[in-house]
């Protein structure tokens, strides 16, 4: 059974810093989200704040209000991804209060709760579990890259983005759901905290893994998933982007993960990396496709993040890019990913023939 959870967002629910919350609000196989603690939006529905869709997930102002409103709560989830991964004073205060109510804590930030002596003591006293998702694995539990990935004979598809926080994980989840509705058994390799929170079984936390082992952990996750579940295809959840100077990432998916196919997520309305002009302009979509193809992989579709666009603008941009690039272009949130599914069906059938 899913564990009942509430999410704390520290007044950031409406921002991209709450993308962990956004993923969980859209759905999770691990947790049943009862509500969200966010004083700025208290009294509203979390789904309506996210994308205008009522989801029956109320927002409350405090942990005390949550205790009064919900009959039982198993977990409190830290639902933000702040710069530097630091736990704010207000979130720490909420965590301490939750522990006194014997609520277990799930924290996906770099700022580990197991390093907070006072919280560890309170948790021990109340028999509460502190789950630090980004706590690095022991060396003995890590894997080196072996080359066994070359024995995998199903399509491996990397979902990469032109920048951070573009919707890579959301697009991946939507494709998984759509595939499984049309008799394509697809599995996802998670590489971030939210993927684990949503219930994905195979993967690792990319940015808390010692660099020497990133390639091996990626390979091991793919191989384990392939041998255990025997899927028709595997999707790799991308992180950051190929050329974001704050954390370039993605070539590992293409080279170490042997992903020969790519779904590329693009935000036409975003000009700078992380919306920071000092970090430089995001290069053109065409140049990104060219780089990916120089590494021996093929971009099979474009998924658009249309934040800041009206629906009419989004539709126009989709049509324009489709004609320019001669590739399927989808609006995952507004319209779904059906055009990509048509391509994936072809990949599945082609793989069977081979």
Asked whether residue 159 carries a pLDDT value surpassing 80, the answer given is: yes
| pTM reported for the whole predicted model | 0.94
C-alpha to C-alpha distance for 261 and 276, rounded to whole angstroms = 30
Is residue 242 within 8 Å of 248, Cβ to Cβ? yes
Q: What angle do CA 83, 89, 93 make, to 5 degrees?
A: 130
The pLDDT value recorded for residue 120 is 98
Torsion of CA 311, 312, 315, 320, to 10 degrees: -140
The pLDDT value recorded for residue 83 is 78
The dihedrals phi and psi of 168, each to the nearest 5 degrees, come to -65, -50
Which runs of consecutive H residues, i.e. helices, occur in the chain?
19-26, 46-51, 63-69, 89-100, 117-125, 168-181, 193-197, 211-229, 251-255, 285-294, 311-325, 332-335, 338-353
Cα distance from N-terminal residue to C-terminal residue, the chain:
40
C-alpha to C-alpha distance for 83 and 307, rounded to whole angstroms = 20
Per-residue model confidence as pLDDT tens digits over 71-99: 899 999 999 988 788 999 999 999 999 99
Asked whether residue 1 carries a pLDDT value surpassing 90, the answer given is: no
Segment 137-151 mean pLDDT:
97
Asked whether residue 353 carries a pLDDT value surpassing 80, the answer given is: no
Q: What angle do CA 100, 87, 238 make, to 5 degrees?
A: 120
Q: Kindly list the structural domains of the chain, giving each domain's residue range(s) and its CATH number in brackets, ordered by start.
A: 3-132 (3.40.50.720), 141-353 (3.40.50.300)
Asked whether residue 354 carries a pLDDT value surpassing 80, the answer given is: no
Listed in sequence order, the residues at least 6 apart from 272 whose beta carbon sits closer than 8 Å to its beta carbon are: 279, 280, 281, 282
């Amino acid at each position: 059974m899913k564990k009942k959870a509430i999410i704390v967002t520290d007044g950031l629910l409406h921002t991209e810093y709450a993308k962990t919350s956004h993923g969980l609000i859209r759905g999770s196989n691990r947790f049943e989200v009862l509500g969200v603690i966010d004083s700025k939006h208290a009294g509203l529905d979390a789904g309506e704040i996210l994308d205008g869709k009522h989801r029956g997930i109320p927002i409350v102002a405090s942990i005390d209000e949550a205790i009064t409103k919900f009959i039982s709560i198993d977990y409190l989830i830290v639902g933000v991804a702040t710069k530097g991964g630091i736990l704010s004073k207000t979130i720490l205060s909420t965590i301490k209060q939750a522990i006194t109510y014997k609520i277990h804590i799930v924290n996906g930030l770099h700022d580990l709760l197991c390093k907070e002596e006072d919280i560890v003591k309170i948790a021990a006293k109340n028999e509460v579990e502190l789950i630090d998702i980004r706590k690095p694995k022991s060396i003995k539990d890590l894997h080196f890259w072996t080359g066994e990935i070359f024995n995998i004979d199903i399509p491996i598809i990397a979902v990469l983005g032109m920048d951070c926080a573009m919707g890579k994980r959301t697009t991946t989840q939507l494709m998984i759901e759509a595939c499984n509705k049309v008799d394509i058994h697809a599995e996802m390799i998670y590489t971030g905290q939210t993927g684990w929170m949503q219930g994905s079984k195979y993967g690792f936390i990319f940015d808390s893994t010692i660099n020497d082992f990133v390639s091996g952990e990626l390979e091991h996750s793919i191989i384990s998933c392939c041998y255990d579940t025997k899927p028709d295809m595997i999707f790799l959840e991308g992180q950051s982007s190929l050329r974001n100077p704050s954390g370039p990432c993605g070539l590992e998916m293409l080279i170490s993960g042997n992903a020969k196919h790519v779904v590329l997520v693009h935000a036409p309305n975003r000009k700078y990396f992380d919306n920071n002009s000092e970090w430089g302009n995001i290069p053109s979509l065409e140049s990104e496709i060219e780089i990916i193809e120089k590494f021996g992989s093929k971009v099979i579709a474009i998924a658009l993040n249309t934040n800041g666009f009206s629906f009419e603008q989004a539709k126009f941009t989709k049509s324009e890019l489709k004609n320019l690039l001669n590739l399927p272009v989808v609006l995952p949130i507004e319209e779904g990913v059906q055009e990509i599914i048509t391509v994936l069906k072809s990949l599945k059938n082609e793989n069977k023939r081979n």
